[in-house]
Amino acid sequence: MTVKRKPAPATAEHAPLQLEHFLPYRLSILSNTISQAIADDYQRRYDISMTEWRVMAVLARFEGLSAREVAERTAMDKVAVSRALARLVAAGRVDRAIHDDDRRRSVLSLTEAGWTMHDEVAPMARAREREVLAKLDDEERAWLTRILDKLLPAG
Amino acid sequence: MTVKRKPAPATAEHAPLQLEHFLPYRLSILSNTISQAIADDYQRRYDISMTEWRVMAVLARFEGLSAREVAERTAMDKVAVSRALARLVAAGRVDRAIHDDDRRRSVLSLTEAGWTMHDEVAPMARAREREVLAKLDDEERAWLTRILDKLLPAG
DNA sequence: CCGTTATAGTTACATATGAAACCACTTGCA
DNA sequence: TGCAAGTGGTTTCATATGTAACTATAACGG
């Protein structure tokens, strides 16, 4: 007769991951918590998504980028960038021109309205970052920077 | 006559965020890179999403949880958990029973097939974690753990 | 008991996202 | 030139996700 046995308990036999000590999981929770807090700030005030804000943030730093360059710098894929740009241009926050020498490329920059919004959102984002970093002391902050430098691809 | 002026350049006047030094952004990139690497491992082999894997991971650790408890432990919302469970049960990887005393609650556990898959995926996930941590020395790893403990909500 | 309120979980709808196909333009090379 | 291959960007389609509404059950208070 067939007996439906309970699966083996979660012991050494199966070595389940302990998520609460598993780096990828912890990073994911931390990152999402922080990004969502910032997003809440600006989504309340403006009708703008996280991807759109990221595009605006890079255009604030680097004027005249093409869409592909924005994608590179934001680590977003080009479809996401294309869509974000469509909304930003429609909302009058980004200006899109065509590159003189290569008519495929766009030349992107913030409009005055875009800058106005940027200048309100950027300080809020920085404030959130400070809130997080306030939980650490100087020594920990220094190590965190160093560790991220080593772990991040381009660092 | 109206002259279309170029928006002010990205100088101190506007204080744009420097994403490459902005903690929330850097964490996001790092977290996504790592999680995606792990996901690539198991999505290639099994037809399973990141959310489904997370549900399996907590069920491997804690048998008999309800869906709500899974949601709490994975920091996912209950709808996402509900959908992940529907697929996992359909695929024969999770067994869903009804709680004796409260017929609203489900009682969840991995099936034999679920355990088999778990036992193949968990080592791959751990291997990816090791790859990341290998970029750090002992001292840095210790600081990272300490820093995450301080930054994470429940820590 | 009976109605109100709360909770576990699912469903429906609207929106977001990613992969692949696609269009426009440019480049490289015969 | 002119055509094959490559690149910037958009569109399409299929899937994923979040919010709110809903169903079923339980808990509570009279």
Structure token digits, residue B65: 């949880």
**Size of chain A, expressed as the number of residues it contains:** 155
From the CB of residue B107, how many other CB atoms can be counted at a distance below 10 Å?
Answer: 16
| B42 vs A65: CA distance, rounded Å | 36
How distant, in Å, are the alpha carbons of A12, A63, A102, A105, A118 from that of A97? 61, 12, 11, 9, 20
Is residue A3 over pLDDT 90?
no
Give the pLDDT mean for A142-154: 92
Residues A15-44, mean pLDDT to the nearest whole number: 93
Give the tens place of pLDDT for each residue, B78-126.
Answer: 999 999 999 999 999 999 999 999 999 999 999 999 999 999 999 999 9
Q: Is the CB of A73 under 7 A from strand D?
A: no
Task: Name all domains of chain A by residue range, CATH numbers in brackets.
Answer: 46-150 (1.10.10.10)
- Which of the 52-81 residues on chain B come under 7 Å of nucleic strand D at their beta carbon? 76-77, 79-80
pLDDT at position B12 is: 54
CB contact under 8 A, A34 and B24: yes
At residue A44, the pLDDT reads 83
Which percentage of chain B shows pLDDT scores above 90? 83
What's residue A67's pLDDT? 97
pLDDT, one tens digit per residue, over B30-46 is 999 999 999 999 998 89
Is the CB of residue B107 less than 8 Å from the CB of residue B66?
Answer: yes
CB contact under 8 A, B27 and A153: no
CA–C1' span, A74 to C27, in Å?
27
* Closest among A132, A100, A127 to A34, alpha carbons compared: A132
* Whole-number pLDDT of residue A73: 93
Give the per-residue pLDDT at A63: 94
Nearest to B10 among A33, A62, A144 (CB): A62
Q: Which amino acid type is present at position B58?
A: V
Residues 19-78 of A, Cβ under 7 A from nucleic strand C: 49-51, 76-77
Provide, in whole angstroms, the distance separating residue B2's CA from nucleotide C19's C1': 45
A24 closest CA partner among B83, B34, B86, B9: B34
Euclidean distance between CA atoms B32 and B109, whole angstroms: 28
Distance CA B132, CA B128 (A): 6
- List the beta bridge partners of residue A94: A110
What is residue B5's predicted lDDT score, i.e. its pLDDT?
35
- Structure confidence by residue, pLDDT tens digits, A46-105: 989 999 999 999 999 999 999 999 999 999 999 999 999 999 999 999 999 999 999 999
Please tell me the distance from the alpha carbon of residue A68 to that of residue A99, in angstroms, as a whole number. 13
Amino acid B47 CA to nucleotide C7 C1' distance, rounded Å = 32
- Would the Cβ of B67 be found within 7 angstroms of any atom in strand C? yes
DSSP labels for B93-117?
SEEEEE-SS-TTSEEEEE-HHHHHH
Within 8 A by CB and 6+ apart from B105, the residues are B66, B67, B68, B98, B99
